[in-house]
Chain A
Amino acid sequence: QLQLQESGPGLVKPSETLSLTCTVSGGSIGSSGYFWGWIRQPPEKGLEWIGNIYYSGSTYCSSSLKSRVTISVDTSQNQFSVKLSSVTAADTAVYYCARLNWGSVEAFDIWGRGTMVTVSS
């Protein structure tokens, strides 16, 4: 059964770079038909799509975050990562990684449990 697990620092200082990794287990990140995405949720607010990556390295990001976001994939480690630069308090959120099943479901069908990241000095 495919599982996703986010990892990374829970506290980041303003103006620094937030870095998170999602480890995929129970399946290969290199399987065709699947994208791997990042979604975040500020406290008491809704979900916001950050971006997706395909195992080939093709990335697609939200226009509102594009200038600050880098998404990468490491197929040898079955992991993908997100970096968000120049963070502010507005970037405080639970960050989820999820699988985008494209071709048969066209939705984010498997999610990690999420990791809380607080931006504070």
Chain B
Amino acid sequence: QSALTQPRSVSGSPGQSVTISCTGTNSDVGNYNYVSWYQQHPGKAPKLMIFDVSRRPSGVPDRFSGSKSGNTASLTISGLQAEDEANYYCCSYAGSNTWVFGGGTKLTVL
């Protein structure tokens, strides 16, 4: 179970859109529609933002959206706001009741 690959950092100005990629293999991201995304502010626990590739839990703004193509999943945040500045982690089911996280991406709102 190797960690999923995410860019170390991304940035954008308020109001803009950013996309964070999450690349796995055909044993995890490519084989299951069980990709989730988590937002983590410094010193806080992760918060679920997207599950099942593109579904949002209640209370998560629709500015957050997810998608997947092949072995790569993506999180897009539109209309960037200052409070979106955080670390973001993807996670995928990897079969046989195992899970794998990405290395994390630091989002900076300029």
Binding site for B on A (CB under 8 A): 35, 37, 39, 45-49, 52, 60, 62-64, 96, 100, 105-109, 111-114
Contact = CB atoms under 8 A, between A and B. Distances in A.
Nearest to B32: A106
Contact of A46 (B1, B36, B47, B89): B89
B98 A107 contact: no
Interface stretch (B12-20, B69-77, B78-86, B99-107): B99-107
B51 A107 contact: yes
Contacts of B47: 111
A108 B35 CA distance: 11
Chain A at the B interface: mostly helix, strand, loop or mixed?
strand
A45 B89 CA distance: 11
Interface in B17-48: 34, 36, 38, 45-48
A63 B98 contact: yes
A107 B3 contact: no
Nearest to B51: A107
Given A46-B3, A48-B101, A62-B1, A106 B57 contact: no
A60 B89 contact: no
Contacts of B36: 106-108
Contacts of A106: 34, 36, 51-52, 93
Contacts of B97: 35, 52, 60
